[in-house]
Structures are given as C-alpha cells and as structure tokens.
Amino acid sequence: MRISTARRFAGALGAVGLSAGLIGSAAAQGEVNIYSARHYQADEKLYAEFEERTGIEVNRLQGKSDALIQRIESEGRNTPADVLITVDAGRLWRAEKAGILAGVDSAVLKERLPENVRHPDGKWFGFSARARVIVYNTQRYAEPPVTTYEGLANDDLAGEICIRSSSNVYNQSLLASLIAHHGAEKARDWAAGMVENFARDPEGGDTDQIMGAAAGECGVAVANHYYYVRLLENEPGITKNVEMVFPNQDGRGTHVNVSGAGVVAAGPNRDNAVRFLEFLASDFAQRHFADGNNEYPVVAGVAPNTKLKKLGDFKQDDVNVALFGEYQAQAQKIFDRVGWK
C-alpha cells in the first residue's frame, strides 16, 4: 500500500492489518485522517484548501478500496481512520456492510447532495458522478447501432460487444441497476443476451474495450465516460474511429455511479470528519473532486469542466445508487449463471 499525503502519516506503514499506532497521535485536536482510494493530483488542492479554511490538519493514506476496507476492519476500535473515500456505490456498500461506517445526520449534506446519491441513513455520500456509456465504431456504423443498455442484448449485435469481466464492480452496479428497474428475471435474460453478443471473452479494463472498438475487434464497447475522455485528450488517433452515446435518453436516463465517502464509525475525530464531508459538498470542492478524474459534480449548479461540456448534456437515471450495493450479490449470481466470465 502506497502512502500519499497532504500530511504524511508517521512511521512506515506496511500491509493491511498492521498496528494503527504507527500513525501517531490521531486523537489530537485539529486533525482528520483520511483513507483514500483516489489518487488524483487535483485532490491535493482539496486537502490544502480544507486546511486553509478550517485549520484542521489532513493526514492521508492511499490504497485500493478493498484493502482499505479490510484494514479498517482489522484495526477495529483502534483505527485512526476518520474518513473512507472510495469509488463506486458497490464498494461503499461493502464498507457499509462491513460495519465500519457511521450514520451522519448533516443538514448541509442533505441540502447540497441529491437524495439518489446519498445512503438513506447517511452511512455514505456520493460526491461525483460517473456515467456508463456506449462507444461504437464509426467505420462500421454510420449511426449509433444501439442507444439503450437493453438493446445491447439484441440479436442484431451478435459478436459485436466488448465489455470487461463480471468481477468488475462497474458491471456489477450496471446489472444491479437493471435488476432495480426490470427485476431479476429480465436482468438475467439481458445478461445472457450480452454473453451471446460478446466479440471476445471479457478482458482488460474500460480503456481496452474502447480500443477494441476503435480497432474493429468489436463494433460496440461499454465503458465509463472518463476513459473515453482520457483517450480523446491523449490518443486522438484512436478515438477518431469511435463515437460515444449516453444510453437511455428517451427513457429513464443514463446509468451513473458515484465516487464517495463516509465517516468511519470508530474514528477518533468524528466532528472533523463530518466537516470534511460537508466541505466536499462545497462548490469549490465539487469542481476539484470531480475534475480529478473528469467526473461530473453532483451538486446542482456546479458546471462540469470544459472537457465534459464538449460531450453535451444528458439525462441521468435518478435511481438511488444504494440499490447497486443491495443487488450486488444477486447481480454476481446472475453473471455466474449465464457464464459471463
């Protein structure tokens, strides 16, 4: 686990499960200790601004989401962690089910954040949105061959789909959203149809799916929008062969997930942790938190960055993202049943 800081934790931190005492005087006044699965330079501006505004010193430990959750579990009541920041509602749900997050009743967070990106009991909050989009090969198709998630499973796209594995939490959350909208039986039929339409066995990340479509290995790919934006900026030679579609614009809207955070139940600096979450809902933080990964702000009135503005406005599905975690296990069972590797 790598350490990245606004203030570097004291001591040499090793594998998950080592003593929390290495962090030092976490209970001291004026501190907040953040375990973060985010690794974007723009976040440094957030921590510096929070320190400037509040006088509260920020300490950060960086690692992968599941490893951080396991670490907090192993540290138990002695954890120094006050805030957990992670990506995808499915991972926030895992932290919730692990019992490591505390409910927060904050008027600021309720007022600033839309209800569908908040846990109903305040266990966690979404602070930026990520759209799961469709990308298609423009050499193969003059017009988008599909404009809905449901249409991806249609027979006319046999052998055309590139998408990553079922173990990926983005796909688990997408299928969970289909369970929420259509029920488990129809979601299973959709997943089975997707498997029939695979151009290749699922492999690689979202960028690999877009590159597969650009190279003609498949006609259609599914990916989070920011992977497409990165390629637009860094690999224009690749993206000249593909276009992006926001799905389900004539219906419920595009599936969006969140990057979010929660207050650690056993953390020593609860008040400072709540203040940090409330800061993440400010206009300043919304811009920088979202810009770190070219994600969309969730607070009304905060405009996306210029790169995202070029993609145009789109209608978002307003289903509560907490359901993505609730149906995650069911989604994985469906994936296994239909042979989605």
What are the tens digits of pLDDT across the range 107-162? 999 999 999 999 999 999 999 999 999 999 999 999 999 999 999 999 999 999 99
Res 43: pLDDT: 85
Residue 84 pLDDT: 98
Q: Which residues lie below 8 Å from residue 66, measured CB to CB, with a gap of 6+?
A: 91, 94
Q: Please report the pLDDT score of residue 4 as a whole number.
A: 39
What are the residues facing 244 on neighbouring strands? Answer: 135
Compute the distance between CA of residue 164 and CA of residue 341 in angstroms, rounded to an integer.
9
User: What is the pLDDT at residue 26?
Assistant: 38
Provide the pLDDT for residue 9.
52
pTM of the entire predicted model = 0.88
Domains of the chain in start order, with CATH, are: 20-128+257-309 (3.40.190.10), 130-254+321-338 (3.40.190.10)
Neighbouring C-beta atoms of residue 89, cutoff 10 Å: 30
- Report the alpha-carbon distance of residue 145 to residue 135 in Å, rounded: 10
| Predicted local distance difference test score (pLDDT) of residue 212 | 97
Q: Return phi, psi of residue 8, to 5°.
A: -75, 130
Whole-number pLDDT of residue 75 = 97
For residue 25, what pLDDT is reported? 38
| Rounded Cα distance, 228 and 267, in Å | 37
Contact present, 244 and 133 (Cβ < 8 Å) = yes
Q: What are phi and psi of 311, to 5 degrees?
A: -75, -20
For the chain, residues with pLDDT lower than 50 are: 1-6, 8, 10-29
pLDDT of residue 12: 28
- What is residue 174's predicted lDDT score, i.e. its pLDDT? 97
